[in-house]
């Protein structure tokens, strides 16, 4: 069992009990886009709210609410009609390590109820003083028995289970890699193996292998696991989910949607879009643009996609941390 760290708590609640905070007036009809966004033929995208400042990750509640975390405001809100309703949250565990860098954590619930949560690194490239950093942690459904599930993951910023019950992580890799910071190292899509070591900080991915980081020249990368699929360097994948809805065309079922938040120190910028990683025979094989337009052809940044959630009708919600919540539907 991990030691307790009361300053950092994970809150769970039954979605039927209502949101932590309900933003009134967000149930009005959707309105026009603030800037052009492109979607595949047959799809429609619209705005459902422009009042979710600092919007981060999303979840779809059984009652139709879209639950939005607003890190900059330190609150969780629901976009829904009706009056405020809620009960105090219950703390399941509060012993996760906190650091000075990557504390915006991803979370996924396994089919059996166990809880998986990312624990980001405290630096760009360094040896961590706490072995729980740069890992994925696993807890029992009741919040007990916390342990390291996989290590060497600098910042597993999105976690999702596929229809076969396999855990997938999207990983933000390191910055400022010499001599090719622009195009290396790739970001990762990993089908995570229990007990696996994914290399950070000593190794970074290149192609289908891992090689030593310059800061650890001569280090052995033997025994580290390769990435399952690579995304372009510095695209900054955040929330990811496997599409299990029925509204979109059948080719999207089982695809991994990923919000690419976009680069912060790459010239020219890259990312700023939502992509679909397509799978065949249980393996990722290709990546396609799904929603784009946050980054213009002249490299002006209009916003940054962050969170994703599939609604009960199979449509897709996308958060933008400049304050927008978008809705993507097919047909009609």
**Percent of the chain whose pLDDT exceeds 90:** 66
Q: What's the angle, vertex CA 319, arms to CA 164 and CA 169, rounded to 5?
A: 30
Burial of 178 (0-12, 13-18, 19+ CB in 10 A): exposed
What's residue 4's pLDDT? 33
What distance in Å separates the CA atoms of residue 42 and residue 252, rounded to the nearest whole number?
A: 13
Note the pLDDT tens digit of each residue in 123-170: 999 999 999 999 999 998 888 999 999 999 999 999 999 999 999 999
What distance in Å separates the CA atoms of residue 18 and residue 22, rounded to the nearest whole number?
A: 8
Confidence of residue 7 (pLDDT cuts 50, 70, 90): very low
Comparing 162 with 12, the larger pLDDT belongs to: 162
What's residue 113's pLDDT? 87
Note the pLDDT tens digit of each residue in 292-320: 999 999 999 999 999 999 999 999 999 99
What's residue 210's pLDDT? 97
What's residue 102's pLDDT? 66
Q: What is the end-to-end Cα distance of the chain in Å, rounded?
A: 52
Strand partners, 138: 116, 147
Comparing 48 with 269, the larger pLDDT belongs to: 269
What's residue 49's pLDDT? 86
**Which letter does DSSP use for residue 38 in this model?**
B
Contacts 24+ apart (CB under 8 A), 294-297: 294/35, 294/37, 294/262, 294/320, 295/262, 295/269, 295/270, 295/271
Cβ 263 vs Cβ 232: under 8 Å: no
21-30, 41-50, 269-278, range with the lowest pLDDT: 21-30
Domains by residue range for the chain, with CATH: 10-330 (2.120.10.30)
Average pLDDT over residues 257-265: 97
Comparing 5 with 236, the larger pLDDT belongs to: 236
**Percent of the chain whose pLDDT exceeds 70:** 83
Q: Is 110 helix (H, G, I), strand (E, B) or coil?
A: coil
Q: Can you read off the two tokens belonging to residue 268?
A: 């020219």
What distance in Å separates the CA atoms of residue 28 and residue 24, rounded to the nearest whole number?
A: 10
Q: Can you read off the two tokens belonging to residue 71?
A: 């890190």
What distance in Å separates the CA atoms of residue 59 and residue 269, rounded to the nearest whole number?
A: 28
Confidence of residue 107 (pLDDT cuts 50, 70, 90): confident
Sheet holding 256-260, edge to edge: 237-242, 256-260, 273-280, 283-292
Average pLDDT over residues 249-258: 98
What's residue 142's pLDDT? 87
Note the pLDDT tens digit of each residue in 186-237: 999 999 999 999 999 999 999 889 999 999 999 999 999 999 999 999 999 9
What distance in Å separates the CA atoms of residue 318 and residue 310, rounded to the nearest whole number?
A: 9
Predicted TM-score (pTM) of the model is: 0.88
What's residue 103's pLDDT? 67
Burial of 250 (0-12, 13-18, 19+ CB in 10 A): exposed
Strand bridging mode 21-22 / 75-79: parallel
Q: Where are the beta strands (DSSP E) in 147-280?
A: 147-151, 156-161, 167-171, 187-191, 203-206, 209-212, 229-231, 237-242, 256-260, 273-280
């Amino acid at each position: 069992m991990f030691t307790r760290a009361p300053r950092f708590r994970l809150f769970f609640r039954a979605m039927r009990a209502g949101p932590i905070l309900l933003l009134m007036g967000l149930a009005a009809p959707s309105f026009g886009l603030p800037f052009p966004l492109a979607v595949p033929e047959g799809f429609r995208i619209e705005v459902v709210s422009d009042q979710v400042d600092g919007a981060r990750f999303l979840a779809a509640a059984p009652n139709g609410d879209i639950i939005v975390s607003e890190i900059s405001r330190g609150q969780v809100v629901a976009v829904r009609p009706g009056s405020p309703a809620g009960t105090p949250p219950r703390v399941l565990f509060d012993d996760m390590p906190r650091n000075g860098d990557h504390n915006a954590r991803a979370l996924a619930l396994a089919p059996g109820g166990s809880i998986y949560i990312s624990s980001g690194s405290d630096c760009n490239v360094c040896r961590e003083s706490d072995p729980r950093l740069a890992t994925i942690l696993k807890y029992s459904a009741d919040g007990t028995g916390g342990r390291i599930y996989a290590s060497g993951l600098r910042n597993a910023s999105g976690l999702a289970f596929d229809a076969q019950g396999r855990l997938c992580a999207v990983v933000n890799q390191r910055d400022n890699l010499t001599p090719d910071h622009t195009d290396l190292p790739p970001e990762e899509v990993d089908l995570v193996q229990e007990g696996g070591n994914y290399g950070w900080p000593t190794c970074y991915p290149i192609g289908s292998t891992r090689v030593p980081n310059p800061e650890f020249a001569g280090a052995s990368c033997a025994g580290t696991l390769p990435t399952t699929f690579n995304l372009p360097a510095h695209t900054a994948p955040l929330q990811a989910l496997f599409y299990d809805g029925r509204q979109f065309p059948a080719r999207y079922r089982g695809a991994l949607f990923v919000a690419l938040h976009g680069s912060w120190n790459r010239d020219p910028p890259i990312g700023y879009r939502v992509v679909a990683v397509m799978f065949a025979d249980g393996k990722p094989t290709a990546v396609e643009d799904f929603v784009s337009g946050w980054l213009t052809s002249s490299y002006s940044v209009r916003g940054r996609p962050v969170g994703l959630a599939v609604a009960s009708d199979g449509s897709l919600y996308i958060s933008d941390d400049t304050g927008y919540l978008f809705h993507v539907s097919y047909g009609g």
